[in-house]
Structure 1
Amino acid sequence: MPLLSPTTVVSALRAAGCVFAEDEAELILATARTPDEATTMVERRVVGLPLEHVLGWAEFHGLRVLVEPGVFVPRRRTEFLVDQALAQAPDASVVVDLCCGSGAVGAALATVLGPVELHAADVDPVAVRCARRNLDTHGGHVHTGDLYDALPGDLRGRVGILAANVPYVPTGEVALLPTEAREHEPLVALDGGTDGLDILRRVTAGAPHWLAPGGCLLSETSERQAPAAAAAFTAAGLATRLAVSEELGTTVVIGVRG
Structure 2
Amino acid sequence: MKPIHIRDYDLLVIGECFIEFRCDGDICLNDSYNKDIGGADIVTAATAARLGSGVSFVSSVARDPFHSMIRERLLSQGINIDHVITSQGYNGIYFASTRYPDQREYLVHRPGNAAEHITPSMIYDDLIENSKIVYASSELQSVSKAARHAIFKAFHFAHSNDIMVAYDPNLRLQRWSLDDAKECLWGVLPLIDVIFPSSPDETKALFGYERPLDVIGFLWDRGVSIVVVKTGPDGCFVGYDGKVEEIHQEKVDESIQDYTLIG
After TM superposition, the score normalised by the length of structure 2 is 0.40
More strand by share: 2
Q: Which structure is larger by alpha-carbon Rg, 1 or 2? A: 1
